[in-house]
Structure 1
Amino acid sequence: MQRSINRSPVLRRTVLCTALALSLASGAVLAQSNASGVVFGRVAQPEGSVVHLQNLDTGLTRDVGVDADGRYRASSLPVGRYKVSVERGGQTVETRDNVQVSLGGGVDVSFAGAAAPGSAQTLEGVQVTGNILPAIDVSSVDSRTVLTSQQLQKLPLARDVTAAALLAPGVVAGDSRYGNVASFGGSSASENQYYINGYAVTNALTGLGFTSLPFDAIDQQQIFTGGYGAEYGRSTGGVINVVTKRGGNEWKAGVGMYITPQYFRQSPRSIYRTNGQLFQYRGDNKSTDMQYTGYISGPLIKDKLFLYAAADFTKSDSKNVSSILAPQKTNQTSKATKWMAKVDWNITDSHLLELTGIGDKTNVDRSVYKYNYATGTQGTFIGTDKLKNFDAGAGSAPGGDVYIGKYTGYITDNLTINALYGHSTTNHVRDLNYAGSPNCPWITDSRRGISSPIVGCGLVNGTVLGAGAKDKTHGYRLDVEYHIGDHDLRAGVDNQTLESTAGNVYEGGYRWVYRNAGKVTGRPDIVPPAGTQYVAEKRLFQTGASVKVEQEAQFIEDKWQVTDRWMAYIGLRNEQFKNLNGAGETYVKQRHQLAPRLGVTWDVFGDSTFKVYANAGRYHLAIPSNVAIRGASASMYYSEYYTYSGIGPNGEPTGLTQLGNRAYLNGEDGHTPNPKTVAAQGIDAYYQDEYILGFDKAINADWSYGAKFTYRKLKSSIDDFCDSRPFEKYATRKGIDISKASIPGCYLFNPGKGGTFQVDIDGKGTLVPFALTKDDFVTPAGVAFPDLKRSYYSLDLYLEHHFDSRWYGRVDYTFSRSYGNSEGQLKSDIGQLDPSVTQDWDAPEIMQYTNGPLPNDRTHALKAYGYFQATPEWLFGANLAIASGRPRNCIGLDPVDAIQYGASYFECGGKPAPRGSQGRLPYTWQLDLNTEYRPLWAGAQQPLAFTAAVFNVAGSQRPVAQVDVGEVNTGGPSDDYRRAIAFQTPRYFRFGVRYDFSL
């Protein structure tokens, strides 16, 4: 909006917080909220000077006064391009054009030689200060990487948010079994938070993934890898904050098309066992992807009301041959539609309103056939599998619809109010239709020495999503900023409620497992008749509930300008978490989770060319919703054994005679457990402490470098233990009769600590507190739980060449170690998708020898990326990533196996095999290249662009994950040990064309 402002040294009250400029020294500027930035600096001749700022896209203008020392500051500026000028006597005397205000950061625009009125100068380049050195952002104490839309377009990146996040130091790809997610600073991939325009869009059920948006709609993407302030919470990994584009005063539009043809794809490596046996043929597992994009942007009312709308439609046709364990060939068509629309209304100079709508929908249709490995041919049709907003590998994907409203009010020069409300809805559907059979249960043939195993007619051979699955969120934020003296105070509330309806059942409703007849451990009632060779076990597994997590937080922070060169940040966040089960009952409540945040920056020379900074903070994380689905709500899990006389056409046994009784596993008998018996009383929240020390230094007008040391320590975790022996030990010591007690299969607790648990001692609801000490968890054989340990330290070094109208480049090297006995919420060792209720900590025995390098540890990582504008028509980009391989393990049998977990211990061959003791997977390296051609013959503005990119130029396909289980449950080495699970993505090409035009 074009403001009508009296351009005089006298400041209007409606000018946003300009009085702050009077209290700040040159180079001393305070970081802003997650949707704006600041411009600050010094004017050499302050008398009678006014700094004038104009947004080059929307026409929004601001006049900022200059104090007697020549200092000025313009805060809470919407991100974008600005022209910044010094004016005296109503005339412009010096100008900086194309100043880029970045998300949450500050930029020094100083005027060292402001000329006399009537002799204006124009100096290009936002990052230039009065001493002709690139400005370092001395306003921030956090660790962040900010990528603009221009950079995202010029670099060879997959067109998604995660690919951009992986450019940041300390960020590595998560386990492939969790989908396209990243790990930050050694944390598990479910510990991140994702925001779009200030609203959290993280997966409501598991924390894995997020609702996405059209890639071209991203204006700036901010990647926090540590040290973020009190306004951010619910993350012990990292934060990705996306601000979308907005409309301006010129109507613009664009269309694009990107194709990734299968004919230019390198064939993926087939998977072999270490003995040379083929496990999965993947030579034809390719796809053709076609994406169509478009946007429109402009003023509905000039200087007042603006619209930006964008959409992506992506169609992918692929085929896949599964492993020899369940040989199938799948022909798949995936259709993904993403849209975003944003309306910005400058109601008045002091009142702004933003409305954002986002849609992210994915539909997948699969046709599944049998596959003959002997002949390499497709067989008979099995059925269809239709998915909606669902990732068959990583579970329910986020997606859905998101709507956000935000109000900004500049009440006085010193008082600003921000209010935000958002909600989202996502429906998840999986529809299986079998060919010629109404029901196809999961069939597993575990009989030894069988040459022709029994094969069922199932499509999935595992668990499938139950009916009615959906996620909903709603939340609001209210922030108040006030400046007084040398202090910039900010306080706010940040509340969000996550609701999920979810659950899983075995495909076909139940599972049959064929076994050799014989003794069944823990089941003396299973006695097959003499001469019986085989038996069949029937298992039914069914979960499903509508659960909720209520997250509330209050925060306060003070950004204190201690001196001209020193700024201190003092923040405190207070979080409350409440988890509710399927019956609407609270099973965990955590109050007063205090998270202090402290930081300091030193502008060494006072000119924003050399910054030293440090910070320390505590970060909390709530128990994810998925825990309540099975652990706190009604679920059914039982086992029955039968003899049989035949095999039906769908693989089911016929002529059944039951052996023994039905056995409920883990106490899951279809009843909702008493919420007081689910978790330890007063359970501590999941939290981590972090410390960072670093510096940034400008070398000259083009180059800067820096270093940063980070240390993270997980102080408290939440998982479940599934061991009744501690209760038996306590009861014996206290003389309590628990012969009729109803003890849940598992309890939530803080690993490595004791706790007080409510126990139904008579099976009738009579609850007695059992105050278990750490010694109560010690087994009869003397095995104790270790203390929780997850530590991460890193040294990051970087060298950056700032864009000088020709080229930009950055190199990051990170030396890091992530080690301990717990990855966190996930267990990537086996790809377990049960955040906060993993196999770890179920009993002391399983935690033996677990200390070592964790799955997300990559000791050495080198990242280099940049682009070169060779001519006005030709641009070239490159992205190189080199990293150490993942630690290898050998998970096998414990000689005693007191808890009957089979091959689940860090032991192999009857001997300890400590975590990470089996070496590492090989280094990975990948080079991506791209080029863009914008012909001059298409017009002066070069609206037409042809692009080409090649990913993984050398075609390196080294393994990035392997099977770590080295032994089979019945004893002996596993043929699948060290079999690759995933390789680097094969080389592929992407071709595109884009046309941008004015309307």
Structure 2
Amino acid sequence: MASAQSNAAGSIFGTTGEPGATVEIRNVDTGLTRRIPTDSAGRYNASALPTGRYDVSIQREGRVLATQPDVEVTLGGGRDVSFSSDGGSSAGGAVELDRVQVTGTAMTLIDVSSTDTRTTFTSQQLEKLPVGRSIESVALLAPGVVQADSRYPNAASFGGSSASENAFYINGYAVTNPLTNLGSSTLPFDGISQMQVITGGYGAEFGRATGGVVNIVTKRGGNEWEFGGQLTYRPNSLRADSRDIYYPFNGTPNDGLIQQKRSVHEVDSYSYGASVSGPLIKDRLFLYASAEVEQQDQTTVAARPGGSTNGFRQYYYDIPRWMAKLDWNITDDHIVELTAISDVTKNTVDYFPYSYAAGSNDTSRGFEKTGGYTYRDGGELYIGKYTGYLTDNLTLTAVYGEQNQDHIADPFGYDPSIVYVTDSRPVGNPVQRGTYAQLDFPDAFDETKGGRLDLEWRVGDHALRVGYDRQDSTSRAGEVTSGPGYRWIYDRCAPGVGAIPGGGGAVCPGGNGDYVSQYKYANGGTFSVEQSAYYLEDRWQINDQWLLSLGLRNEGFQNFNADGVVYAEQKNQWAPRLGATWDVFGDSSLKVFANAGRYHLAMPNNVALRGAAGSLYTQEYFSFTGIDPTTGEPLGLTALGDGPFSANREYGQAPDPQSVTAKDLKSHYQDEFVLGFEKRLTDTLNIGARYVHRDLKAAIDDMCDYRPAYNWAIGQGMSEDMADQLGNELANCRLFNPGQSNTFMLDDGTGKLVEVALSADQLGFPKLKRMYQGIDMFVERPFDGKWYGRLDYTLSRNYGNAEGQLKSDIGQGDVSQTQDWDHPELMDYSNGYLPNDRRHYVKGYGFYQFSPEWRVSATATFASGRPKNCMGYYPQTPENDDFNENYAYAGPYYFYCNGEPTPRGSQGRLPWTNKVDLGVTYAPNFAGNALEFSVDVFNVFDEQVPQNRIEYGELGGPGGPYTHAGRVISYSNPRTVRFAVRYSF
């Protein structure tokens, strides 16, 4: 019987032909031993096993009948270790002792117990492959995973989803970024034991991802003391020059000029680390500890025209990471694991002047530092886990974790006593004081805490599993005016015009019309999200060949504003999961599988930062009699209005939580269907294929359209003033479900909320659509002591009118608050190929052991290009006059160019991205394989192609020339070389 899957363990199962015998499963490294009786059919199952190597044997009355040594248990996987006789039997049906033999199924790589789609990388593979030392670099080797837009650093898209829709786990605890959902915490790279990339079909145990899951288990100590160290170096001298970015030829004065001189960028990077592991008490208590420090020096040149003041920049990165893990086998039936991880990035950037005309970036020539920052991001993670084999058929696991991360940004030369002053008057020698107008909160942080309980009970042919998990996350983030919390802005109006434009009734002073405004801005707070779920799953082994997985998960999400009040809540979100696998011949040589499921995703904390936080944004206007020559502050102030004015009534108060979102807001959720097979073609070759269909059924975004609420109010017979009030309330951007009917609670101006129910037709938006279809095919040659290789090809189509939580077209990072759904005209012609659509993707990786001393390795990826858009202004026609005058955004944000429709993805594609990485390793015989020297060359052929480009096609109105139209934003990385030395004993 195939047991339930686990996000931090695996299982061994099989048949023995020996009813009533005992199967002993012993961990080779730690001595952990489980003894499982076989059932009346000679079957056995051992679930929730820590990953590692095991010896499996059949025993009866203390005698060993047969043994299968060195069976590797992988993360979340099941290994079929079956035994059989050659046909003879003794009385009572027992197999004759001298006629038992291993069937060999322990060596197959086809896991007939899984119904999901996963790729697992072991530490042994990662040490041998030329791959970047990061979670993202490894994940990109999995089928269906593509690199996200470069404006989302270290992020990836799984199965057509946006880069914020993934979940990351370390030792069973979620470490996804709680503020934005983009990326995750990490750990020393050499501390990874196994890393699993799940791209679809996971069971009811998991949720909170509509993209993919990255699941990591760390290394652990064993009964032998082991020590290791490694050093890597990527010299700038062997790095190819980055491609310069040029202005396109658009008939503008900048045609063909360098927009950013990237060829002078430099990067020197090295890392060093060490590890130790072994028994504190043999067979019972084990330690593993590792640490690494990565240091990097970079120089870059900013793009024109800003390169003149702060253009030359020097970056210094210091990234210390460490982890420690204790494994305590209290008994063979009770295991405790404790993990501590520190992940901190320290970064200093110094700004210097740079002249594009002179091409000068030599700071030794007396250039004065003009600014800079010191950053510190990160903190510590602590995880505890208990596994209890309460009986042969009852297993309990419990996980609890906490994580704290600080985000500190220290600006160079910042003096909080200095008031920032600017001068917009048309006079010479403007007043200017201060360096930083706005600053991030100095005490920003993220923290999470949570845990889960899972109970598995085996009853006959059923493995029943029930569980509960919860994680609470809290983030403090925001921005505030520097200095004492305000700044001064000098300006001039024409005397006699009456009111200052946009001044809220403040009158223009006499004389020459000079005035000053005191500007205050603050936005942010401390926000939290609570996510909880419970699930029930039955893995039913119908017979020796068919396994059916029936699961049901119930999710609940609550988003809190800075006052600790719920502003968005989704309860009782039922997510059915159905999976089936058919072991066609009953020997794990051919598996056909299918699964269908629904998956939900919560909004991260940054949604509250923009949509539910208290915001202060005021200006107060004064005339003045003089200016302090030292501070630049105005003297002799006389108020010109009635006090601080805010056009959007942002006086620091948080909006009513009930008005932030539509009532009964549905969460972001997706339905998925997968059908596939895996086949052991020969003893040294596996093949497989799968079809994936993903359909985004609902999303959360914000809308900012005045008209639906105004028209509704007029239709209800309300006054023009009331309709205007409700329209303005909706125009302040409310969270809703795009393409559906929504009901809003809007302030009528007195603090009373009016319920405004709007149908999909009244809102005017098209139905939400994001559909991913993909066919993944692979061929894999398992490692036989000589060589290993795998080749994947994915043919896919990612189509619709919304990417998901992000908008890669313009690199927008406001998760769940993109520009897309602000008003219906933005969605005209938005249906087409989405930014993460890569029609063809070929991936291959492997290594070949020429001799005990020499090994070569390679990874290669070939991806077709991203679809291109041309975005511009809404057409200027008589029918559109009212919209363009009152509601349209004054920018090129629509799927029109030169007044003509330009549907999404209709402007061709960027070039293919091709990348080949090669490595060679030498392990001298005299060191007894303890010492390795390696050289890896990344992007051997130095193919630097555009990853993205400016999608805006015009400026200043339809047909207006735009200097940057079509300009490349970033190129793929240049060729680099990495040297490494590794020693272990």
Same fold (TM over 0.5): yes
SS at 1:559 equivalent: strand
- Aligned equivalent of 2:380, options 396, 401, 409: 401
The corresponding residue for 2:267 is 287
Distance 1:842 1:943 in 2: 60
Q: CA deviation at 1:459?
A: 7.2
Which of 753, 762, 766 is matched with 1:767 structurally? Answer: 753
Compute the displacement of 1:77 (Å).
1.7
CA offsets, 1:762-796, max 9 Å, x none? x221112111122322xxxxxx3111111100000
Could you tell me which residue of structure 1 aligns to residue 57 of structure 2? 85
Distance 1:538 1:820, change over 3 A: farther
Letter in 1 for 2:801: N
Taking the aligned partners of 2:423 and 2:151, their CA distance within structure 1 comes to 22
Q: Is the 8 A contact 2:82 2:106 kept in 1?
A: no
**Cα pair 2:607 2:816 within 8 Å, conserved:** yes
2:118 maps to 144
Q: Which residue of 1 aligns with 2:887?
A: 899
Per-residue deviation, residues 936-965 of structure 1 (Å, max 9, x unmatched): 1013xx111111111100011101011111
Which residue does the alignment assign to 1:931?
920
Cα distance in structure 1, aligned partners of 2:663 and 2:827: 23
Offset of 1:824 from its aligned partner? 0.7
Q: Does 2:538 align with 1:558?
A: yes
Equivalent residue letter for 1:41: G
Q: Distance in 1 between matches of 2:814 and 2:368?
A: 35
The reply to whether residue 490 of structure 1 matches residue 452 of structure 2 is: no
Asked if residue 678 in structure 1 is aligned to residue 665 in structure 2, the reply is no
What is the alpha-carbon distance in structure 2 between the residues aligned to residue 609 and residue 443 of structure 1? 74
| CA–CA separation in structure 2 for the residues paired with 1:805 and 1:156 | 19
2:584 to 596, 601, 604: 604
TM-score normalised per structure 1? 0.88
Partner of 2:233: 259
Instruction: Give yes or no for contact 2:78–2:112 (8 Å, CA) kept in 1.
Output: yes
Q: What is the aligned partner in structure 1 of residue 838 from structure 2?
A: 858
* Residue 722 (1) aligns with residue 694 (2): no
From 405, 419, 423, the equivalent of 1:426 is 405
Instruction: Report deviation, 1:40.
Output: 2.3
1:334 aligns with 2:322: no
| Alpha-carbon offset, residue 636 of structure 1 | 2.6
Q: 1:161 aligns with which of 135, 150, 156?
A: 135
How many angstroms apart in 1 are the aligned matches of 2:415 and 2:72? 63
CA drift at 1:549: 0.6
2:713 equivalent among 722, 731, 736: 731
Q: Is the 8 A contact 2:786 2:849 kept in 1?
A: yes
Q: In 2 relative to 1, CA 78–380 (structure 1 residues): closer, same or farther, beyond 3 Å?
A: same
Shift of 1:209: 1.0
- Tell me the residue number matched to 1:752: 739
What's the RMSD between the two structures over aligned residues?
Answer: 3.5
Does the 8 Å contact 2:466/2:535 carry over to 1? yes
In structure 2, C-alpha distance between the alignment counterparts of 1:827 and 1:644, rounded to whole Å: 45
Q: Contact 2:19–2:41 (CA<8 Å) still a contact in 1?
A: no
Give the 3-state SS of the residue equivalent to 1:730 in structure 2.
helix
**Deviations 1:676-712, CA, capped at 9 Å, x for gaps:** 1111111111100000000001111000111100000
Q: Which amino acid aligns with 1:400?
A: G
Q: Kindly indicate whether residue 197 of structure 2 is the aligned counterpart of residue 208 of structure 1.
A: no
Map residues 186-197 of structure 1 onto 2, 5 A cutoff. Answer: 186-197=160-171
2:564 corresponds to:
584
Question: In the alignment, what sits opposite 1:21?
Answer: none
SS in 1 for 2:570: strand
Amino acid in structure 2 at the alignment position of 1:84: V
Residue pair 1:801, 1:808 contacting (<8 A) in 2 also: yes
Aligned to 1:377: 360
Equivalents in 2 of 1:791, 1:149: separation in Å?
A: 35
Distance in 1, matches of 2:424 and 2:978, equals 43
Aligned counterpart in structure 2 of residue 103 of structure 1, from 70, 75, 82: 75
- Residue 419 (structure 1) shift: 1.1
Percent identity, please. 48
DSSP-derived class of the 1:178 partner: coil
Work out whether 1:625 is the aligned partner of 2:605. Answer: yes
Deviation at 1:255, TM superposition (A): 1.1
Query: Structure 1: 5+ residue runs without aligned partners?
Result: 1-23, 124-128, 390-398, 778-783
Q: Is the 8 A contact 1:89 1:117 kept in 2?
A: no
| Alpha-carbon distance in structure 1 between the residues aligned to 2:270 and 2:222 | 30
Question: Following superposition of structure 1 onto structure 2, how do residues 477-876 of structure 1 map, counting pairs within 5 Å?
Answer: 477-505=452-480, 541-637=521-617, 664=646, 666-737=648-719, 738=722, 743=729, 745-761=732-748, 763-777=749-763, 784-876=764-856
Are residue 956 (structure 1) and residue 943 (structure 2) matched?
A: yes
Q: Does 1:39 align with 2:12?
A: yes
1:173 to 133, 138, 147: 147
How many residues in Structure 1 have an aligned counterpart in Structure 2?
942
Query: Which 5+ residue runs of structure 2 have no aligned equivalent?
Result: 89-94, 249-254, 362-366
How far the C-alpha of 1:99 sits from its partner, in A, is 1.3
Which residue in 2 is equivalent to 1:9?
none
> Cα distance 1:140–1:987, how it changes in 2: closer, same or farther (>3 A)?
same
Q: Give, as a single letter, the amino acid of the residue that structure 1 aligns with 2:32.
A: L
- Relative to 1, partners in 2 of residues 1:669 and 1:887: Cα closer, same or farther, differing over 3 Å? farther
1:13 match: none
| Alpha-carbon distance in structure 2 between the residues aligned to 1:428 and 1:694 | 44
Say which is worse superposed, 130-139 or 589-598, in terms of deviation.
Answer: 130-139
Q: What secondary structure is seen at the aligned counterpart in 2 of 1:411?
A: strand
CA 1:170–1:682 in structure 2 vs 1: closer, same or farther (change >3 Å)? same
Partner deviation per Cα, 1:385-427 (whole Å, 9 max, x = no partner)? 11111xxxxxxxxx32111111111111111111111111111
Q: Indicate how the Cα distance of structure 1 residues 644 and 716 shifts in structure 2: closer, same or farther if over 3 A, else same.
A: farther
Question: Displacement of 1:131 after TM fit?
Answer: 7.2
Letter in 2 for 1:368: Y
Return the alpha-carbon distance in structure 2 between the equivalents of residues 453 and 793 of structure 1.
61
Shift of 1:839: 1.0
* Larger displacement relative to structure 2 (259-268 or 64-73): 64-73
Shift of 1:852: 0.7
Q: 1:849 and 1:695 mapped to 2: Cα distance?
A: 38
Residue 293 of structure 2 is matched in structure 1 by: 313
- Distance in structure 2 (CA, Å) of the matches to 1:720 and 1:830: 17
What is the alpha-carbon distance in structure 2 between the residues aligned to residue 573 and residue 453 of structure 1? 67
Cα offset for 1:76? Answer: 2.2
1:8 match: none
By how many angstroms is 1:122 displaced? 10
Cα pair distance change 1:611/1:445, threshold 3 Å: farther
> Judging changes above 3 Å, is the alpha-carbon distance between structure 1 residues 948 and 660 closer, same or farther for their aligned structure 2 residues?
farther
The offset of 1:505, in angstroms, is: 4.1
Shift of 1:278: 1.2
Structure-1 residue corresponding to 2:252: none
